[in-house]
Structure 1
Amino acid sequence: MVFFGSILFSLTLAAAAAASPVTLHRDPFFPPVPVTAEGLLCRLPIPAVREILCPRQGSSSPTVKTSIGTATGVADGSSAVRYAVRYGQASRWQPSSVVTQWQFPAGNVNASQLPLACPQDNIDASAMSEDCLSMILYVPTSVKAGSNVPTILWIHGGSFTSGSATGPGLDGSSLATATNSIVAVVQYRLGALGLMAPSGETNLAIKDIITSLNFLQQVLPSFGGSTSKITLAGQSSGANMIRGMLAIPSASSLFQSAILQSDPMDYGFLSPGTQQTLQTYFNGLLPCSATDTACLNNITLSDLLSFQDNLSGSADSLDESTGLGEPLRLVRDGSLITTPLDSTAQFPSVSKPILLTNVKNEAGTSIFGGIPFDLDAGNYQNAVEGTFGQPATNAILNNTNYALPAAAAAANSSEATSTDERPLLEKLGTDQIWRCPTWTFARNWVGNGGKAYVGLYVVGASYPGNTDITSFCGESGVVCHQDDIEIVFGTAPSPSSQQAALISEMQARYKAFLQTGNPNVAGHATWTLATTSDVHALTLGGSGEVAAGGCDPSFFGKVVPYDYQVFGI
């Protein structure tokens, strides 16, 4: 029986039997998105030019005295003030530490400038810096010292290899104002720089998040924030990062609750053995020994990203448990991350309230971006078998949620009568990688002392990059991966009445959750707590609860195991 790390791997099998070639996105979850004009202007490496171009029309520069110095922000007519700040410092491949004085992000000369992104592919060298441990604080103008308001620490996604605090839709002004909270959007080291230190030290990226939380503990009171009311929130690999935080006992006191959006929980954390395999391969690419610090520090970012791409492209052949979506990710090292937080080991006792959401079509970007042609019934079956093997394939094809329509099954691979089965493959991928393992996680969480609210977005705002996949993600009623981001942040451009209503609802629910750990508010449907037998997933943007379908606990995780069960990670 052969299993692969992700349903995405099966796309190459489908392509082999198809008339047209498949070109997968290098990062299947996050196709490249355009950098905004403002972002490019503010990232020009000429301080004098940046100082002229970056300030917004009619902006002012309010200041706040903190325990580590005076913070200067930007008030540009919105109802929140923006403060860009460097929260941590770290030498290459070393653990980060909290800064000792308030300072602008690296390279910035005034409060109007935005942080440079951490090193990653597909952006200009002038737009990134290795000195990137920065965050942007959005503070409502009504909040002053002593207000004791909550804080959201937002962790961006990007499959651990891309993204930044200045990504599309991540302006926290609307969210901060609507929730009467401080919104902090944080950056952390990506890819090999955050997850593949030659010394073998693991999880530097999540240690950066811990550093950022320790920074907030120092400065929040000066802005009117409560250090005991911090909620972690994030999407995709950002949510994966939060799951890692929930598995770190030593970090538990740094936050009170968590919101995980679209976490691909099927993958699990990497095992120490898999991490060592990847580490050995990566170190073999380097022109230095693991102990030659001077040489390691002199490797150019361009070369490092090239080595990183080599590793990412080779990871699945080195160890199938890596999969294709997030081959570089957090590792359950046993010292920092002490539990897999899944069904492969005893689930720990927990107490924090959590909010878990998915979108209706999580796999849409991957499937329709990866297969730009109709997929017939025969290739659908090939894709399923190539991913799951037997006997799971038979169980899937006989499950009413994933079974081929009778006509397509009868026609099998006949080109004359074939239909496009990509929507069915998308539904299976969404359930396998995202929705069903999230529901399993919710049941485990509440079964061991915690509280969990589960939801599914059926309304979204098409995220930059998804709009290019017009064959699916651009269709009415489709909500692809990332399409929840601009709903939560309230940054959807020209929102429809349906989108505006959901933005208002979700921001009201977040406001309640930040304060009480309960997202229920007057005027909206009751969001019922998950139980060990029924997660009571609320339809977000629709009405009623979501049918379990294949996410019934008797199917995925039982008849069809998750990847983390297959590989024992």
Structure 2
Amino acid sequence: MSDDSDPLGRAPVGRAPLVRTRFGALRGSLKHGVASFLGVPYAKAPVGPLRFRAPEPVEPWEGVREARAFGATAPKRPYAPPLDALLPDPDVEGEDCLNLNVWAPWEKSAAEGRPVMVWIHGGSLVHGSSSVPVYDGAAFARDGVVLVSLNYRLGIEGFGVFPDAPANLGLRDQLAALAWVRENIAAFGGDPERVTVFGESAGAICIAALLASPLAKGLFRRAVIQSGAPVALPGDRARRTTEAIAAHLGVEATARALTHIPVERLLDAQTEVTGKGTPLTGGHSFQIVVDGELLPRDPAVALSGGGASADVDLLMGTNTEEYRLWFVPGRLTERLSRLALRAALWKTKVPRRTARVYRANRPRETPGELLGALATDKLLRMPLNRLADARTAGPGSTYVYEFGWRSPVLGLGACHALELGFVFGTLDRPETTALTGPDAPRELADAMHAAWVRFAATGDPGWRAWDATRPVMTFGPGAPTLVESPRDDELRAWDG
């Protein structure tokens, strides 16, 4: 190794970055002091006989593998209009979709033992990928973090429930990627003992399941849950979507039968069966399943009362108006009648006393907005508050945030997914401004991004940990502010 080489034995600084993993050498790209390695395989391509099987380790390669372009995305279809314009979802062709990306600071000084953050994308378990431009990891790397993002199997190939195949294959992919990180991240300057997993929406739900899984023990030290909650279904209920898709195709609901269905035909059937519902209004969807092995118990139960992952530091929160991403584009906030609201509250088993409290606090809101606020809190905010309460006696610290800056785009307000460009520091990206508009406050983004970096580095994002006063760091509107027990009367109304 020459004198101008990197302390870890990588390529000399200033040249195309080169690292040596246990599977082989990788050549990446270097820009403004940040090295990126894209499309790195962490498991074999899930095709042919491996299509509905647990991920298998990637084969080592000879020579140097180029890692300068994003790898294949998992089979999926784009979001339906108008969400397709708000949530860009690139599609990269290829079969080798079990791949990940690494962004790392590339300098000779302080090159070892950096905190590592592993991003698990959302998308209702049927959309999304690590190549979404909003998820660019350069800002994290510039701030001293080794950032990893990964792809995992989606839809029926990742979360179908069969009698002849393992359940939760998409979660098993994530476990395989985390195992890869533990074995290889030191080559990029990361500390395998300082790994933080973070994710949003379905990615956050996956992280809650990983927190509850005995198979994930030791793979990460901290976790961030953004706009997702601990939830999973028993096998018989989760299987219904798989059975509906198989019936649409006219085949048995088995992995053996679906292995022979072409990908495009399978996606057509999947879209037809699941395309009419939303995370808030229901309908056929893919869910994580309590399978007795990877996930022995419902994660909400497993994580409560000082249970699973009680020693893991946890940062979690929601956006104030999550529902508006699904309600506003279809004008449900305007069209829903009072009669339809009453029917929806009865169907979703919202107590009358709870609805009365929300209605009293929101006298000017439409029935659709009232339903959205109730649904947001029932599905997201209330479960996370309960989880925070259940962890107060454990050794791991818990921090709670709320993102409240309102986007002017289409009147979406502080909707689901809006915080992503703030967390990643990618407000300049046109794919981010599609949701935020061009004038999102950079100071707020800087503060939120810095809090995530501090949490990964130290376990403390910069405000008081959760206790009996229920402190919540609110990011907008305005400057970040710590608020104790915000809208507590509404949360207490759910508990009678």
Q: Same fold (TM over 0.5)?
A: yes
TM-score (norm 1): 0.72
User: Which SS does the other structure have where 2:135 is aligned?
Assistant: coil
Q: Which amino acid aligns with 1:246?
A: L
> Are 2:375 and 1:455 equivalent residues in the alignment?
no
Correspondence for 2:36 among 69, 82, 102: 82
Displacement of 1:425 in angstroms is 3.0
**Regions of 4+ moved over 6 Å:** 123-126, 494-498
Displacement of 1:393 in angstroms is 4.4
Separation of aligned partners in 2, 1:164 and 1:431: 27
Deviations 1:199-250 (A, max 9, x none): 2420000000010011112211111111111100011100011001001022
Share of identical aligned residues, percent?
24
Report which of the two has the higher share of strand: 2
Given that 1:98 and 1:215 are in contact with CA atoms closer than 8 Å, whether structure 2 keeps it comes out as: no
Displacement of 1:287 in angstroms is 5.4
Given that 1:367 and 1:425 are in contact with CA atoms closer than 8 Å, whether structure 2 keeps it comes out as: no
Correspondence for 1:366 among 313, 326, 330: 326
Q: Which amino acid aligns with 1:259?
A: V
> Are 2:52 and 1:93 equivalent residues in the alignment?
yes
Task: Determine the structure 2 residue equivalent to 1:270.
Answer: 233
Please show how residues 305-320 of structure 1 align to structure 2 within 5 Å.
Answer: 305-312=267-274
Displacement of 1:492 in angstroms is 0.5
Deviations 1:313-344 (A, max 9, x none): 5999xxxx997278201111121112323259
When the two chains are superposed, the root-mean-square deviation of aligned CA atoms in Å is 3.4
Q: Which amino acid aligns with 1:216?
A: V
Given that 2:125 and 2:154 are in contact with CA atoms closer than 8 Å, whether structure 1 keeps it comes out as: yes
> Are 2:218 and 1:259 equivalent residues in the alignment?
no
Q: Which has the higher mean CA deviation after the structures are superposed, 540-549 or 134-143?
A: 540-549
Separation of aligned partners in 1, 2:254 and 2:355: 52
Task: Determine the structure 1 residue equivalent to 2:287.
Answer: 329
Task: Determine the structure 2 residue equivalent to 1:545.
Answer: 483
Task: Determine the structure 2 residue equivalent to 1:23.
Answer: none
Work out which structure has the larger RCO, using CA pairs closer than 8 Å and 6 or more positions apart in sequence. Answer: 1
Separation of aligned partners in 1, 2:456 and 2:288: 26
Separation of aligned partners in 2, 1:195 and 1:549: 36
Deviations 1:505-550 (A, max 9, x none): 2232222211221112xxxxxx11112x442111123323154325
Q: 1:323/1:405 Cα in 2 relative to 1: closer, same or farther (>3 Å)?
A: closer
Task: Determine the structure 2 residue equivalent to 1:19.
Answer: none
Please show how residues 57-72 of structure 1 align to structure 2 within 5 Å.
Answer: 61-72=16-27
Q: Which amino acid aligns with 1:337?
A: L
**5+ residue gaps in structure 1?**
1-58, 409-418, 521-526, 560-569
Task: Determine the structure 1 residue equivalent to 2:9.
Answer: none
Deviations 1:360-414 (A, max 9, x none): 211111121233572466246435434434xx44213321x333866x8xxxxxx
Q: 1:552/1:71 Cα in 2 relative to 1: closer, same or farther (>3 Å)?
A: same
TM-score (norm 2): 0.82
User: Which SS does the other structure have where 1:298 is aligned?
Assistant: coil
> Are 2:77 and 1:121 equivalent residues in the alignment?
yes
Given that 1:361 and 1:480 are in contact with CA atoms closer than 8 Å, whether structure 2 keeps it comes out as: yes
Task: Determine the structure 1 residue equivalent to 2:189.
Answer: 224
Given that 2:101 and 2:150 are in contact with CA atoms closer than 8 Å, whether structure 1 keeps it comes out as: yes
Displacement of 1:447 in angstroms is 4.0
Deviations 1:263-287 (A, max 9, x none): 155xx21112212444444444455
User: Which SS does the other structure have where 1:212 is aligned?
Assistant: helix
Separation of aligned partners in 2, 1:306 and 1:230: 38
Task: Determine the structure 1 residue equivalent to 2:360.
Answer: 403
Separation of aligned partners in 1, 2:267 and 2:140: 34
- Number of residues paired by the alignment? 456
Separation of aligned partners in 2, 1:344 and 1:165: 29
Separation of aligned partners in 2, 1:377 and 1:312: 25
Task: Determine the structure 2 residue equivalent to 1:487.
Answer: 422
Q: 1:93/1:125 Cα in 2 relative to 1: closer, same or farther (>3 Å)?
A: farther
Q: Which has the higher mean CA deviation after the structures are superposed, 231-240 or 283-292?
A: 283-292
Q: 1:290/1:431 Cα in 2 relative to 1: closer, same or farther (>3 Å)?
A: closer
Displacement of 1:165 in angstroms is 0.7
Task: Determine the structure 2 residue equivalent to 1:300.
Answer: 262
